[in-house]
Amino acid sequence: MTKKITFISEEEAHTEAIASSLADIVQAGDVITLTGELGVGKTHFTKGLAKGLGITERVTSPTFTIVKEYEGRFPLYHLDVYRLEHSDEDIGFDEYFYGDGVAVIEWAQFIEAFLPEEYLSITIERTGDTAREITVEAVGKKYEPYIEKLEEALGRFGK
């Protein structure tokens, strides 16, 4: 059984606050997957994570470039693999998954075959105009303590 926790976000600022709290927990070499329908807030989540990592540069979706890199406490590799949906192309994922930063992958379900064995899975679902349900799941034992730390840090958003 994998460990997971669900948070309720009533607005974009809450989503960014949840992600910013995660930035206090993540370490270099971590992989985070983001899934959810178009416009649900995956990039807003990444913005909050970037802010928590001390990144001051404007974070935007890398849909057309596939990867954007940002420098903060350690590098943030922001991947949007939507355009790779029907591709089996490996664009050098290992460089990002096993690098010296944190890899955040939007639309990760399109590259499941390339994902490492362990990662932190985040699913965002729309529950209202601005409300979202954010489920954070540890895929592998490495990330189980992250769930406990998030629960401690974000009890007010918990469900």
In this prediction, residue 96 carries a pLDDT of 79
Structural tokens at position 140: 């592998």
Q: Strand pairing partners for 32?
A: 104, 120
Q: Could you state, in chain order, the average pLDDT of each consecutive group of 10 residues for the chain (159 residues)?
A: 86 91 94 92 92 90 73 91 59 78 90 90 93 94 93 71
In this prediction, residue 59 carries a pLDDT of 85
Element (H, E) at 43: helix 42-52
Instruction: Tell me how crowded residue 124 is: count the other CB atoms within 10 A of its CB.
Output: 22
CA 29 to chain centre: 13
In this prediction, residue 67 carries a pLDDT of 82
In this prediction, residue 86 carries a pLDDT of 47
What is the Cβ-side half-sphere exposure of residue 159, based on CA atoms within 13 angstroms?
12
Alpha-carbon distance of 7 to 82, in angstroms, equals: 25
Structural domains of the chain, ranges and CATH numbers in brackets: 4-157 (3.40.50.300)
Element (H, E) at 94: helix 93-97
Amino acid at 142: K
Alpha-carbon distance of 111 to 75, in angstroms, equals: 21
The pTM is what?
0.89
CB 77 within 8 A of CB 102: yes
